[in-house]
Amino acid sequence: MTVGNLSVEATASRSHSDLRKVGSHPDYWYPIAWSHELKPGRTFAGHFAGEPIVLVRPVEGDVFALEDRCAHRQVPLSKGTVDGCTVRCCYHGWRYDGSGQCVDVPYLGKGKLPNGVRSYPCFESNGIIFVWPGTAPAADPLAQIGHAAEPGYKSRRFGKIVRCHYTFMHENLMDMNHQFLHRRTTGKVTPRYLASRKGDGWMEVDYSFARPDQKPPLGETVIVGSLRGSARTARDLMTVRTDYPYQTLRMWTRDDKPVLSVWLGYTPVDAEQRRNRTFIVLSVRKPKIPGVLDLAWPVLAWFTDRVFAEDCEIVEMEQAAFDEQGADWNQEVFPPIRELRTLLRDCGNPR
């Protein structure tokens, strides 16, 4: 595929900031944990950009999120115990409620309680617990996570901590020319760039896919094949979208409903944001024949795990190169990726 108006100079950054040093903007909802990771009456130790965050799920009541350090001696509250709708530090037993207020020090008078800890707005939806790490008032909780809640779709949740800056994740997914990376897993695929659109805080790119000489692998057949019908179309259509700070990928074969819909969230873990926890919700449209998708699910899981592992390996190499070189030396030639880089820089956290 050839892009008409490519220019070969390296991207001149519009500002002086190095894209890999731009922080994720904290004034958004970020996924911190899968719901199943936090049992009733237990805590979960999460992070956003180096800030430790404890998630607490009372036996009865909603999940709440606090700074994961006791105000007293700074040890993690996540090591403590859940006591009704409060969490108690494991060391000297200081107790905090869901607003972060210290409500008990066992050896101290009630009128003299010390300052508490910070609390974070928090909600749980579609199997993910989100936290608002910023200082501004929270926006509404996300209405939907891809197609996870829609009837007619079956979803898979996966992901892991990837040792790279979140921007490498965005660029990886949006540049479909990287299909070469997956050639052993997906077979030869020829992506063709069709169009791109952008707006305030988002952009998206359309691609068509063709397989000139080969059959698709089993995993892909499972995902899209059964929905395509008997008359194979020449091209499948895909749209990759960055809706800051999330991404989606949708693929169509016939009608307006995507056959595949993927939602991705990237939560920076460490203060330098050289690691992110990637949360992926992959939703596949159920075919007409019931049970086919369930039967094929293990193959689909293997296939998507393998593609994700290949992506993780390459973006971690990009981060390693950045760490060695001390700066972003990328020489981007594909205009949509240049635009994406500008978008990520503009939406990010100036530091």
Residue 238 near a second copy by CB under 8 A? no
Q: Which helix (H) or strand (E) holds 300?
A: helix 292-325
Per the listing, tokens 């731009």 go with 22
Residue 329 near a second copy by CB under 8 A? yes
* Shortest Å, Cβ 199 to a second copy: 25
Q: Measuring CA to CA, which residue among 229, 288, 233, 237 is closest to residue 260?
A: 237
**Measured distance CA(205)–CA(208) in Å, rounded:** 10
Residue 91 near a second copy by CB under 8 A? yes
| Contacting residue, 12, 60, 324, 351, with a second copy by CB under 8 A | 324
Annotate each residue in 25-64 with x if it binds a second copy (CB under 8 A) or - if it does not, as one string. -------------------------x-x------------
Pair of tokens at residue 9: 């100079």
167 CB-side CA count, 13 A: 29
Residue 3 near a second copy by CB under 8 A? yes
Q: Which of these ranges, 1-9, 37-45, 157-165, 276-284, lies near a second copy under the rule CB under 8 A?
A: 1-9
Residues 188-207 that bind a second copy (CB under 8 A): 191, 193
Helical pair 166-174 and 335-347, crossing angle rounded to 10 deg: 150
Residue 332 near a second copy by CB under 8 A? yes
Q: Which of these ranges, 91-99, 224-232, 254-262, 272-280, lies near a second copy under the rule CB under 8 A?
A: 91-99
Q: Which is nearer to a second copy, 124 or 316 (CB)?
A: 316
Residue 71 near a second copy by CB under 8 A? yes
Residue 322 near a second copy by CB under 8 A? yes
Query: 245: cis peptide before it, omega within 30°?
Result: yes
User: How many angstroms separate the Cα of 36 from the Cα of each of 2, 40, 43, 129, 305?
Assistant: 45, 10, 12, 10, 20
Residue 326: left (phi > 0), alpha (psi -120 to 50), or beta? Answer: left
Q: Which of these ranges, 36-44, 69-77, 224-232, 298-306, lies near a second copy under the rule CB under 8 A?
A: 69-77
The terminus-to-terminus CA distance of the chain in angstroms comes to 38
213 CB-side CA count, 13 A: 1
Pair of tokens at residue 281: 């919700």
Residue 317 near a second copy by CB under 8 A? yes
The amino acid sitting at 88 is R
Burial letters 199-211, b for 16+ CB under 10 A, else e: eeeebbbbbbbeb
| Contacting residue, 42, 92, 118, 156, with a second copy by CB under 8 A | 92
Annotate each residue in 102-141 with x if it binds a second copy (CB under 8 A) or - if it does not, as one string. ---xxxxx--xxxx--------------------------
* Shortest Å, Cβ 114 to a second copy: 4
* Shortest Å, Cβ 45 to a second copy: 11
Other CB atoms within 10 Å distance of the CB of residue 183: 11
Binding footprint of a second copy on the chain (CB under 8 A): 1-4, 6-8, 10, 50, 52, 69, 71-76, 79, 90-93, 105-109, 112-115, 175, 177-178, 180-181, 191, 193, 314, 317-318, 321-322, 324-325, 329-334
